[in-house]
Structure 1
Amino acid sequence: MDEQSTAFAAPAAMLVEGRAEGPLLFSHTALSFWGGVDPETGIVIDHAHPLRGVCLAGAVLAMPGGRGSCTGSAILLQLIVNGLAPVAMVFSQREDILTLGVIVAEEVYGRSLPIAVLEPADFIRLEGRKSLCVGSGSVFEPGATPVRGEKVAASADPLTLAEKDRELLSASVSPATSLAMRIVTRMARLDGAERLIDVAQVHVDGCIYTGPASLDFAEKLAGWGGRVVVPTSLNAISVDQARWREQGTDPARSQAASALADAYVRMGAAPTFTCAPYQLDDAPHRGEDIAWAESNAVVYANSVLGAHTMKYPDFLDICIALTGRAPHAGCHIDENRKARLLIEVEPMTGCDDCLWPLLGYQVGLLAPNTIPVLTGLETVAPSDDDLKAFGAAFATTSAAPMFHIVGVTPEAPTLQAAAGGATLPVLTVSHADLLAVWRSFNPVTGEPVDLVALGNPHFSADECRHLAELCRGRKKHPDVALTVTASRSTYGKIIESGLAAELEAFGVTFVRDACWCTVMPPIVPPAARLIVTNSGKYAHYGPGLSGKEVRFASLAGCVDAAILGRCPEAPPAWLTS
């Protein structure tokens, strides 16, 4: 009998309990809700995703899992509050970011939806089916007999709480702290943690304004007495707090975004407002347990700095900051930091800075949920900014929390060290693979440019210095805007060095606090048709977030575009040789 004619039923592990039924939306491709789903419509806006243009509201969404941004939890919370969320979600792997969004909705707003995890072989059998029921430990078609699985948090609870943990759950602390601790312990049980640990610092990504729910949640915590107990930095927000009026951004949204940032500052977080906290003076040290959100920051902290953090979802970050406690799971455990996939990179000679975002993007596609180790780059000597560009693009296409590069990153002095002595499956990356990524970003070449967007993640002082060298003695095209997003800290440094004045004289506009994933019009001019960027991350997310065409080039290519008013005519020579 044809499998599709047989009613489907399979046991499932329930990440969030509940029962729902709806039409099935199935995809083999993971989806980042941030930059991938519009919270005001429920429509998929990721231009590279098979479900682009489809509304998720009322459907059972089945996909391998989430990927990309930690802000997916905030987008899902807003969808739930707006009544535009899927009625249930089914994954083929355990997933934290979207699950956390549902947990917050349940704990704070009394709204929820079931989340189930199927075995991969059962998940594949969903393709082509019309509707599904989810609940009670089973995923099944209407009319089929449910086949029960087990709860993830089984009756034999592996989590042992210390005395101080129990106190943080009690009425002796503020309502904000006890709520935060309930959320931390729920996630710890889902992660299979046996205990909680102290963290040295937290980086909060939940300060990005994703709609009224993100502001309401933060103001509730602040109003309920929430105060951070460890040093806490804040991610880029959705507005340049000091200059949004002169920039002409929407007053209502700008005021809401600024109020959200202020709520986190009232809870004791530092107004760093950067998506590149590793550029700050108090960056964590190797082996230090921290709790960072923001996908590129997590990947950089684990991979380049050698600090230990999980890929914490938005809202779990502030919960850990309010309690100082985090699950002992994921990349906090040495064994979980080992590579499970070897990627051999073809020799890349004569390459420019295009290499790193293109390579990161491709490696993320090859390792969608697996920590990879790369060989073949031992003599290339990437800079910190190269590794930033690689990690940001990698974190866009992969859900993995880190990578290794033999001879480059601290936990990969050798392949054996990175893999823990294991024999790994092997994949390769060639010039042809990277050229295919370049062409996916640049389906048309030589087009007129309206905006050059730099600083996703935030530009460093070194990148500003390099940009000044490329611009020196040249003249920007009058019809092209060249805008750089940077942190307050970096902008202060380049003001002091004179670089800011030099770049502004060329025609560069600086936006602080926000970055390209969060900026509002008219920073992206409403009349603009085409943007060029050197960021693999923004080349992916930009079309959905801005509604514009986005092209990709090296930093030198971006400067040429700002001067000539056109995109590069062809891929860089090293990529086609």
Structure 2
Amino acid sequence: MHLTDEEQRMREGVEGPATAAAMDLLVRYGEALGAERLCRVRNVAGTMTQPSPVKRKLVEEGGWAKSFSVINLDCDDDIPIPRMKVPTCQLQSGFGPDSIDIVPYPPENVELQTDGEAYFGAHGVNILSTCTPYQVGNLPVRGEHVAWMESSAVVYANSVLGARTNCEGTASTGAASLTGRVPYWGNHLDGERYGDALFQVDVATETFQDWGMLGYFVGDVVQEGKPVITGDALGFPELADLKHFGAATATAGGVELFHIPGITPEAATIEQAFGGRAAPEPVHFGERERRWAYDALNSQGESDEVDFVLLGCPHASIDQLQRAAAALEGKRLNPGTELWIMTPRALRTIADASGYTQVIERAGGRVLTDSCPAMSKAAPSGTRVFATDSAKQVHYLPAILGIEGWFGTLEECVDAAVTGRWRGELR
């Protein structure tokens, strides 16, 4: 793989042993992928502070430098870690201090994570602690090469923002943060960003739930393909809709890039979406396919007695928090049902100032940050049945925690939280 003079100097240790280890990792990674060279990135979204037994052991042995070296650089040497070379942020992590006495999550994990945040903050990492960095100020521009983890963030960055990233991992983002480089392959290449499947939407798709069901169907069909979505029945989506749609495509499949001609930035027309090639025969999404998606997402629910309701996956936007507060105004949760709403720390601050948090808490709900039940493998003690408006969470959480799950609208989830019963249906 070709290296520039600057990259060769980094590999030879001119910028220190950690940067040399990072460049060595990127060369091995790029050669395995068949990449001919590296490309510059100036925006990295990875994870360093998420607690785990392995991470705790490494920190006890050699501090956070040891943890970063082994986990984020694939290097067993004891080496000092410099400040990040390019802007880097911490994505979602474990539950934070606001979860203590609410979430059955080890306090020692909260303590370890808080210590890690202090270390990495001092090394140039922005502690955003969210799966939606684009909601709290990390907004790469169209065409910018970035190195991001987190499937729902990657598909949003590529598709909605028009940035360029593959779905990176802990080690590749760690190496990118010290070098400002990643292998030039996949979604970084012009020719790899065109669509390869066409979907014709024949049924009204306007609500948050609609976009989640459409995304789940599309992801199941294309798997790791690049779908192009069209149809007069498509409504005009807002941020939360595209967030839900992309997360659902990445959950049911492995979609990292989609096009909605006239809405997403890289394709104003179907012709542009396919790079001038003939579009394939469309896959239709009508009433039958919509029913399939709804039934698939509700296939892990049997009992209608709901003891946990989860909102905010991917992390809730401020508009979603406002709507949740409005739906809960003047209501009280069922004594046997808990409601958690997950959101970024920065948006929790806005929700506090706007009064949304107070309304939610008066009803008996909780606004929590940093993590989610699937990431931290934690739900209210004794949870047997949960309900959510997230296609991603209802897909993963039953398998992770061994519980039943229901998928519906915000209003149906609030009703379940207030009554303790699931009464959702496809409308």
Compute the TM-score of the two structures, normalised by the length of structure 2: 0.90
Q: Say whether 1:572 aligns with 2:426.
A: yes
Q: Which residue matches 1:436?
A: 292
Q: Say whether 1:199 aligns with 2:41.
A: yes
Q: What amino acid is the match of 1:195? A: R
Q: Which residue matches 2:23?
A: 181
Structure 1 unaligned spans of 5+ = 1-158
Q: Percent identity?
A: 32
Deviations 1:207-264 (A, max 9, x none): 4345415873964236622231111111110121455366452234444444554554
Measure, in 2, the Cα distance between the counterparts of 1:490 and 1:296: 18
**Which residue of 309, 320, 326 maps to 2:176?**
320
Q: Which residue matches 2:394?
A: 539
Q: Structure 1 residues 243 and 572 mapped into 2: Cα distance closer, same or farther (>3 Å)? A: closer
Task: For residue 125 of structure 2, give the secondary structure of its aligned residue in structure 1.
Answer: coil
Give the drift of 1:174.
2.5
RMSD: 2.2
More helix by share: 2
Q: Say whether 1:268 aligns with 2:124.
A: yes
Deviations 1:534-553 (A, max 9, x none): 11111111012222212111
Structure 2 unaligned spans of 5+ = 70-77
User: Whose radius of gyration is greater, 1 or 2?
Assistant: 1
Deviations 1:60-112 (A, max 9, x none): xxxxxxxxxxxxxxxxxxxxxxxxxxxxxxxxxxxxxxxxxxxxxxxxxxxxx
Contact in 2 for aligned 1:517/1:538 (Cα 8 Å): yes
Moved more, 435-444 or 261-270: 261-270
Q: Structure 1 residues 312 and 424 mapped into 2: Cα distance closer, same or farther (>3 Å)? A: same
Measure, in 2, the Cα distance between the counterparts of 1:346 and 1:543: 31
Number of residue pairs matched by the alignment: 411
Measure, in 2, the Cα distance between the counterparts of 1:245 and 1:195: 50
Q: Say whether 1:448 aligns with 2:305.
A: yes
What stretches of structure 1 move > 4 A for 4+ residues in a row?
245-248, 256-263
Contact in 1 for aligned 2:201/2:233 (Cα 8 Å): no
Give the drift of 1:528.
1.4
Task: For residue 367 of structure 2, give the secondary structure of its aligned residue in structure 1.
Answer: strand
Contact in 2 for aligned 1:219/1:260 (Cα 8 Å): no
Q: Structure 1 residues 207 and 326 mapped into 2: Cα distance closer, same or farther (>3 Å)? A: same
Contact in 1 for aligned 2:332/2:362 (Cα 8 Å): no
Give the drift of 1:171.
2.9
Q: Say whether 1:309 aligns with 2:177.
A: no
Give the drift of 1:165.
0.5
Q: Structure 1 residues 378 and 278 mapped into 2: Cα distance closer, same or farther (>3 Å)? A: farther
Q: Which residue matches 2:75?
A: none
Deviations 1:131-172 (A, max 9, x none): xxxxxxxxxxxxxxxxxxxxxxxxxxxx21001111111133
Q: Say whether 1:556 aligns with 2:411.
A: yes
Contact in 2 for aligned 1:215/1:256 (Cα 8 Å): no
Q: Structure 1 residues 209 and 361 mapped into 2: Cα distance closer, same or farther (>3 Å)? A: farther
Q: Which residue matches 1:500?
A: 357
Q: Structure 1 residues 471 and 373 mapped into 2: Cα distance closer, same or farther (>3 Å)? A: same
Q: What amino acid is the match of 1:384? A: L
Q: Structure 1 residues 209 and 363 mapped into 2: Cα distance closer, same or farther (>3 Å)? A: farther
Give the drift of 1:345.
1.8
Q: Which residue matches 1:348?
A: 204
Q: What amino acid is the match of 1:504? A: E
Contact in 1 for aligned 2:294/2:426 (Cα 8 Å): no
Q: What amino acid is the match of 1:357? A: G
Measure, in 1, the Cα distance between the counterparts of 2:174 and 2:210: 35
Compute the TM-score of the two structures, normalised by the length of structure 1: 0.67
Q: Structure 1 residues 366 and 166 mapped into 2: Cα distance closer, same or farther (>3 Å)? A: same
Deviations 1:363-383 (A, max 9, x none): 111111211101115750011
Q: Which residue matches 1:236?
A: 92
**Which residue of 345, 360, 374 maps to 2:229?**
374
Task: For residue 456 of structure 1, give the secondary structure of its aligned residue in structure 2.
Answer: coil
Measure, in 1, the Cα distance between the counterparts of 2:334 and 2:42: 47
Deviations 1:456-499 (A, max 9, x none): 11111010011112222333222211101111111011112121
Q: Say whether 1:284 aligns with 2:140.
A: yes
